[in-house]
């Protein structure tokens, strides 16, 4: 699918145009980029079937942008983009990876200090040339240096959510080969770790085809679209680099060893050490080829067989981090973790009332497509001016619209109120009390000292209307650390004031993270899994939140939106 490639270019064009202060065009490109990014249909198919006209029917696409899409499909490049890039020597894609650095700031830094890339930026910040600039200051300079450190630390890692679509595409293409008997992702991607380095894929060949077809599979693999470099091509292993920058390894294993190879290459390393020790304690040997008693292979075909042979119950890949799962599997006492189909409704969805992409009606249709029983609309509130946050009157107007739409499919009204630095909210209590539920989140002043930040969130929890804290620790993966908080204190307060913590599924948040989910569960604090969708297709991101919950060993009973709307509401404050 080339949607993502074009979307990435359009996002960059939007940034370049913003820098040139061509706001109108910038917004137009940004809009199309956003919808391309999550569009299910391949834009190339649309073009092949209906030509330019069909492209112009896409949301936000006019003649001009349609022609750019056509140009990319035909030539693999967009001249206007290359020209924009040429006109400004700034490496915007590089610089904008730093939290808080947008096109406007980049432009000022280039004009005043000649900063073109991260290297220049680091040098300038270290010699304190940025702080004296108008609109920057000491704090920004410090943030820039922290951002650069952050980038260095995570070099070579990718958001699971950003690479998953291309991984799934590779799997699908490979699966079409008739020689392949079994195929699976392995490694940290299979364990659904929030960021991954490279991707491992395992394949077993049908015995009837045997070795002759290995060559064919490898040839097919190294010529897949989107590959920019082939590191190596062998009979049982090949390695490639994808356009997005990550590497994929493909291994061919024997069908009788597929399960043990999958167990081995899924890891984690620590989990494998622990399972191997157990095998040894039982007089067995466990490796990537199978489980052996002396010379005799007693298991290996499936992972289930492998775990059973060494006396363990089957352990879900998301739990394989050697944090106690092996001991529990020995006693057959593993928690029954939440499944990918257990969520009944998404409570954190933004509509076009607050500048989201879609109407409430469209969001409802999307939720129905997900097989949900209900959806919660939780638009931003007034303090967030850039997000067109709603004020009290707008919330009450929205209530009327939601009541009208509330037919067979349940629509709940919430909001995502802002937790101000003192812990108060930006919407009057009398209005909050009228909503079905209230989410509160921190969206400003994130660098407060630990005790102040902790107290700020606890104060919000004390509000008699607050039911859920959104993205409770504020991290942005590969960009920004959690804010300084005492999480144990937050958990105690959540319990005391009957407040639910969110597991935000957005791939760059995944907040709460796995270890915090485990702590919350142990403390008896309830959670919900939400997407924070600003676009109707983003409802599908829920799988990443569920994966994180599984990594944190959460069970259905720990996650409130696995229940019906009525049960869910009865749990919240102001239950009516
Ligand atoms: Zn938020
Ligand atoms: Zn939100």
Instruction: Tell how far the Cα of 349 is from the centroid of ligand 2, in angstroms.
Output: 7
Please name which ligand lies nearest the alpha carbon of 349: 2
Locus of tokens 């004009």 = 111
Q: How far is the CA of 472 from the centre of ligand 2 (A)?
A: 12
Cα separations in angstroms, 329 against 308, 385, 546: 10, 51, 21
Q: Give pLDDT, residue 153.
A: 73
Q: In CATH, which superfamily holds the domain spanning 158-253?
A: Beta Polymerase, domain 2 (3.30.460.10)
Task: Please report where in the chains the tokens 């490279």 appear, as a residue.
Answer: 198
Neighbours of ion ligand 1 (CB under 5 A): 441, 470
Going by their DSSP bridges, the two strands 290-293 and 296-299 should be labelled as: antiparallel
Which residue, 512, 425, 529, 430, is CA-closest to 472?
Answer: 512
Give the CB-side neighbour count of residue 534, counting CA atoms within 13 A: 12
pLDDT at site 576: 47
Distance 416 CA to ligand 1 centre (A): 7
Distance 535 CA to ligand 2 centre (A): 11
- Cα of 405 from ligand 1 centre, angstroms: 25
For the domain made up of 256-334, give the CATH fold. Answer: Beta Polymerase; domain 3 (3.30.210)
CATH class for the domain made up of 3-153:
mainly alpha
Q: Considering every ligand atom shown, identify the ligand nearest to the alpha carbon of residue 471 and give its number.
A: 1
Ligand 1: distance of its center to the CA of 351 in Å?
13
Closest ligand (CA of 538): 2
pLDDT of res. 209? 66
**pLDDT < 50: residue spans in the chain:** 576
CA of 419 to the centre of ligand 1 (A): 10
Residue 479's pLDDT is 83
Span from the CA of 451 to the centroid of ligand 1 (angstroms): 22
State which H helix or E strand residue 503 sits in.
Answer: strand 500-504
Q: What is the largest CA-CA distance in the chain?
A: 76
Ligand 1 geometric centre to CA of 52 (Å): 38
Whole-number Å distance, alpha carbon 532 to ligand 1 midpoint, is 7
Give distance in angstroms: CA of 82 to centre of ligand 2.
34
Among 552, 484, 542, smallest CA distance to 516 is for 552
> What pLDDT sits at residue 441?
97
The ligand with the least distance to the CA atom of 379 is: 2
Separation of CA 247 and ligand 2 centre (Å) = 32
How far is the centre of ligand 2, averaged over its atoms, from the C-alpha of 466 (Å)? 15
Q: Domain spanning 345-571: which superfamily?
A: Metal-dependent hydrolases (3.20.20.140)
Ligand 2 centre distance from Cα of residue 150 (Å): 24
Using CA atoms of 53, 57, 61, 65 in order, give the dihedral in degrees to the nearest 10: -10
Cα 34 to middle of ligand 2, angstroms = 16
Among residues 216, 305, 205, the alpha carbon closest in space to that of 260 is found at 305
| pLDDT in the model for residue 575 | 58
Domain positions in the chain:
3-153, 158-253, 256-334, 345-571
The Å distance, Cα 348 to ligand 2 centre, comes to 6
pLDDT one-digit tens code per residue, 242-262: 988 899 999 999 999 999 999
Task: Report the separation in Å between the CA atom of 416 and the middle of ligand 2, taken as the mean of its atom positions.
Answer: 6
**If you measure from the C-alpha of residue 399 to the centroid of ligand 1, how many angstroms do you get, rounded to a whole number?**
20
How many other CB atoms are there within 10 angstroms of residue 203's CB atom? 25
């Amino acid at each position: 699918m080339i949607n993502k490639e074009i979307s990435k270019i359009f996002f960059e064009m939007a940034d370049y145009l913003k820098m040139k202060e061509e706001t109108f065009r910038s917004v137009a490109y940004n809009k199309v980029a956003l919808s391309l990014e999550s569009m299910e249909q391949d834009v190339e198919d649309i073009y092949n079937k209906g030509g330019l006209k069909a492209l112009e029917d896409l949301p936000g696409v006019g003649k001009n942008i349609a022609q750019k899409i056509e140009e990319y499909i035909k030539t693999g490049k967009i001249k206007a983009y290359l020209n924009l890039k040429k006109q400004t020597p700034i490496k915007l894609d590089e610089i904008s990876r730093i939290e808080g650095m947008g096109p406007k700031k980049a432009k000022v830094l280039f004009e005043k200090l000649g900063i073109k890339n991260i290297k220049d930026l680091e040098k300038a910040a270290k010699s304190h040339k940025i702080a004296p600039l108008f609109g920057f200051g000491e704090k920004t300079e410090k943030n820039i240096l922290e951002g650069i450190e952050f980038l260095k630390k995570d070099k070579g890692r990718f958001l699971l959510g950003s690479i998953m679509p291309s991984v799934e595409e590779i799997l699908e293409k490979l699966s079409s080969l008739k020689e392949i008997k079994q195929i699976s992702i392995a490694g940290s991607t299979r364990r659904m770790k929030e960021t991954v380095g490279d991707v491992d894929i395992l394949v077993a060949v049908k015995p009837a085809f045997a070795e002759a077809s290995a060559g064919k599979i490898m040839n097919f693999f190294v010529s897949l679209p989107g590959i920019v470099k082939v590191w190596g091509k062998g009979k049982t292993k090949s390695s490639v680099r994808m356009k997005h920058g990550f590497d994929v390894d493909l291994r061919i294993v024997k069908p009788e060893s597929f399960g043990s190879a999958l167990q081995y290459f899924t890891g984690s390393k620590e989990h494998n050490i622990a399972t191997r020790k157990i095998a040894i304690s039982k007089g067995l040997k466990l490796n990537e080829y199978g489980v052996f008693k002396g010379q005799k292979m007693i298991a290996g075909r499936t992972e289930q067989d492998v775990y059973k042979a060494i006396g363990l119950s089957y352990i879900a890949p998301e739990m394989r981090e050697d944090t106690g799962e092996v001991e529990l599997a020995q006693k057959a006492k593993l928690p029954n973790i939440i499944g990918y189909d257990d969520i009944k409704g998404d409570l954190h969805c933004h509509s076009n009332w607050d500048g989201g992409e879609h109407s409430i009606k469209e969001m409802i249709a999307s939720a129905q497509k997900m097989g949900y029983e209900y959806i919660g609309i939780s638009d931003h509130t007034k303090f967030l001016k850039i997000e067109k946050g709603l004020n009290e009157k707008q919330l009450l107007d929205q209530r009327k619209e939601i009541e009208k739409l509330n037919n067979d499919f349940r629509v709940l009204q919430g909001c995502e109120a802002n937790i101000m630095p003192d812990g108060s909210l930006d919407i009057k209590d009398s209005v909050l009390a009228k909503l079905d539920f209230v989410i509160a989140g921190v969206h400003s002043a994130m660098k407060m000292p630990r005790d102040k930040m902790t107290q700020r969130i606890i104060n919000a929890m004390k509000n008699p209307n607050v039911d859920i804290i959104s993205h409770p620790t504020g991290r942005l993966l590969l960009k920004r650390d959690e804010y300084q908080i005492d999480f144990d204190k937050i958990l105690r307060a959540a319990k005391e004031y009957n407040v639910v913590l969110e597991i935000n599924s957005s791939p760059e948040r995944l907040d709460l993270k796995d270890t915090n989910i485990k702590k919350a569960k142990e403390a008896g604090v309830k959670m919900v899994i939400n997407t924070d969708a600003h676009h109707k297709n983003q409802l599908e991101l829920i799988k990443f939140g569920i994966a994180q919950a599984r990594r944190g060993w959460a069970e259905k009973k720990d996650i409130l939106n696995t229940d019906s709307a009525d049960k869910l509401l009865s749990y919240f404050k102001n239950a009516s």
